[in-house]
Amino acid sequence: QKEVEQNSGPLSVPEGAIASLNCTYSDRGSQSFFWYRQYSGKSPELIMFIYSNGDKEDGRFTAQLNKASQYVSLLIRDSQPSDSATYLCAVRPGTYKYIFGTGTRLKVLA
Amino acid sequence: DVKVTQSSRYLVKRTGEKVFLECVQDMDHENMFWYRQDPGLGLRLIYFSYDVKMKEKGDIPEGYSVSREKKERFSLILESASTNQTSMYLCASSLYPVNSNQPQHFGDGTRLSIL
């Protein structure tokens, strides 16, 4: 079992719809969780992080964390073609290291 | 804003060469990291450093070494480059985790080709 798992996609959604991206992790001791967006050929850029159970909203983005079920999700409301990218989930199980999933490719169709 | 600068965006080297990839951050971050990213394999940690002159092996350190002589600079060294080291290399930095909520900030990446 991989430490951080994401569906590779592509996940295709029409413009204006809600995109839902999911991530599961194996280390129950993980403390903090991050979502990065990566455009093709570019480096990852941080979208948001979450460390408490529940929802955290930032503009069109909402991160959801359920530690009991060991999953974290990212919702993108009013999806735009510019949101088309690969979304990486990262988990911090300890003090220094971050464990990344392989990413979900999102395609927003105009 | 945090700025992580990698010395080269694109680099072409020959097998057997010693290759240096440089990374500098301007936010006084204690932690610095080197990853490589390959299609289907995601980000894999090569080495990280949590303080000057301190380093720890990541998941795939073979064939690589690192140097951190100053807090702001973290260098990745390919001792004798091989074709299987052709990849995108990403440097990242983060604050020391007083709490665990410190994200990593990435440089623009170096696309390295070994011929």
Q: Give tens-digit pLDDT for A26-84.
A: 988 888 899 999 999 899 999 999 988 999 999 999 999 999 999 999 999 999 999 99
Q: A46 vs B104: CB contact, 8 Å cut-off?
A: yes
Q: How many CB atoms lie within 10 A of CB A95?
A: 11
Q: Which two tokens stand for residue B24?
A: 């500098």
Q: Which two tokens stand for residue B89?
A: 């290399």
pLDDT of residue B45: 93
Strands A71-76 and B110-114: unpaired
- Range from A18-32, A77-91, B44-58, B97-111 carrying the lowest mean pLDDT: B97-111
Q: Alpha helix (H) ranges present in chain A?
A: none
pLDDT exceeds cutoff 60 at A94: yes
pLDDT of residue A105: 96
Element (H, E) at A76: strand A71-76
- Range from A7-21, A38-52, A85-99 carrying the lowest mean pLDDT: A85-99
Distance CA B111, CA B78 (A): 14
Cβ neighbourhood burial of B2 (10 Å; 0-12, 13-18, 19+) = middle
Average pLDDT of span B47-61: 91
CB < 8 Å to A90, chain B: 104
Contact between A91 and A98 under an 8 Å Cβ cutoff? The reply is yes
Instruction: Indicate the residue of A31, A51, A102 with minimum beta-carbon distance to B42.
Output: A102
pLDDT of residue B40: 84
Return the residue of B nearest to A6 by Cα. Answer: B42
Interface residues of B toward A, Cβ cutoff 8 Å, are 31, 33, 40-43, 45, 48, 50, 56, 58, 90, 97, 100-101, 103-109
pLDDT band at B107 (very low <50, low <70, confident <90, very high): very high
Distance CA B94, CA B76 (A): 17
pLDDT of residue A74: 97
Contact between A80 and A15 under an 8 Å Cβ cutoff? The reply is yes
Per DSSP, the three-state class of A2 is coil
pLDDT of residue A31: 84
Average pLDDT of span B3-11: 94
Taking only the tens place, the pLDDT of each residue in B60-89 is: 999 999 999 999 999 999 999 999 999 999
Reported in sequence order, the residue ranges of A1-110 that DSSP labels E, i.e. its strands, are: 4-5, 11-14, 19-25, 32-38, 45-50, 54-58, 61-66, 71-76, 85-92, 99-100, 104-109
pLDDT of residue A60: 97
pLDDT exceeds cutoff 90 at A95: no
Residue in the block written with tokens 């604050």: B95
pLDDT of residue B96: 72
Cβ neighbourhood burial of B86 (10 Å; 0-12, 13-18, 19+) = middle
Per DSSP, the three-state class of B84 is helix
Q: A43 vs B107: CB contact, 8 Å cut-off?
A: yes
pLDDT of residue B98: 52
pLDDT of residue A98: 87
Q: How far does B102 lie from chain A, in Å, by closest CA?
A: 9
Distance CA A87, CA B111 (A): 20
Contact between B95 and B104 under an 8 Å Cβ cutoff? The reply is no
